Amino acid sequence: MSKSIKYYYDFLSQPSRALWIGMKLGKTPFEGCPVALRKREQLTDEYKKINRFQKVPAIVDGKFQLAESVAIVRYLSDKGQFSEQLYPKSLEGRARVDEFLEWQHLSIRLACGLFFRNAWLYPVNGIAPMPKIEQIQKMTKEVEANLGLLERLWLEKDFLIGDQLTVADLFGASEINQIKLCQYNVSEKKFPKVVKWLERVRESSNPYFDEAHNFVYQKSKQAVSAKV
């Protein structure tokens, strides 16, 4: 009898959400272990024993500990505990999804992540002041350069990799949704394919998509009403 894996995550973390949605959709058995980043629980000595890098997401499978969302997807898949539709086993199918997963780190994730950090996380927590308009514009431009790549290069079909939802879509969408917190909404005029794709990803992965994003949705609205 093997126990199910323990999943350490927080819904404020983009890859935490992507992996959580993927596991829910694929019926991966897991025990959810929320780590409240807002309380800095990831920085405790106790958590350091779980993940030496003190980040989320991470898993513990028996005595085996693993960090890094993409590495976790691959581990679970090879263990037969991750949906094959979401992460293919075939050589070429997998290579195409891997191509996106490796690409996103220094493109869409970096651009959205920096924007989120500088225009929400740091100012909200009093770590740094709200960036100036010019800085916001610069970060927005960077985000949009990458949205442009999605629009023109990746979204040839309904999803990033072909006609069906894969983890690539979950990772991509989760990064883009993060900047709702900075009051950034993808413009249908500028990026019509991206907007339709985001809606498709949401529909294909609900109710889990909304459940994972509830926190982001709420906080984004709060920020708006606070301004009013």
Partner 1 sequence: MSSRLATLLGLSQGPEDQQHLQKAFEEGRKTPTRQTTNLKMSPSPIKYYYDLMSQPSRALFIIFRLSGMPFEDCVVALRNGEHLTDDFKRDINRFQRVPCINDNGNKLAESVAILRYLSAKGKIPEHLYPKYFVDQSRVDEFLEWHHISLRLTCAMYFRTVWLEPLLTGRTPTEAKIEMMRMHMERNLDVVEEVWLESSDFLTGSSLCVADIFAACEIEQTRMADYDVRIKYPKIRAWLKRVRQSCNPHYDVAHKFVYQISGTGPQAKL
Q: Contact residues for partner 1 (CB under 8 A)?
A: 52-53, 64, 66-72, 74-75, 78-79, 91-92, 94-95, 98-99, 101-103, 105-107, 109-111, 113, 141-142, 145-146, 148-149, 153
**Cβ distance to partner 1 smaller for residue 41 or 68:** 68
- CB of residue 145 vs partner 1: minimum separation in angstroms? 4
Q: What's at 62, amino acid-wise? A: G
Check if the beta carbon of residue 212 is closer than 8 Å to that of residue 20: yes
Check if the beta carbon of residue 70 is closer than 8 Å to that of residue 22: no
User: Which of 35, 32, 34 lies closest to 24 in space, CA to CA?
Assistant: 32
How far is C-alpha 98 from the chain's CA centre? Answer: 15
**Cβ distance to partner 1 smaller for residue 138 or 200:** 138
User: Which of 59, 46, 54 lies closest to 5 in space, CA to CA?
Assistant: 59
Determine phi and psi for 28, rounding to 5 degrees. Answer: -70, 125
**Cβ distance to partner 1 smaller for residue 107 or 204:** 107
**Cβ distance to partner 1 smaller for residue 31 or 102:** 102
Determine phi and psi for 33, rounding to 5 degrees. Answer: -125, 90
Tell me the Cα Rg of the chain.
18
- CB of residue 46 vs partner 1: minimum separation in angstroms? 17
* Type and span of the H or E element at 194: helix 192-205
- CB of residue 108 vs partner 1: minimum separation in angstroms? 10
**Is the four-CA dihedral 13, 180, 160, 158 of positive or negative sign?**
positive
**Cβ distance to partner 1 smaller for residue 70 or 181:** 70
- CB of residue 114 vs partner 1: minimum separation in angstroms? 8
Q: Could you give the maximum distance between any two Cα atoms of the chain, in Å?
A: 58
**Cβ distance to partner 1 smaller for residue 1 or 91:** 91
- CB of residue 10 vs partner 1: minimum separation in angstroms? 18
- CB of residue 94 vs partner 1: minimum separation in angstroms? 7
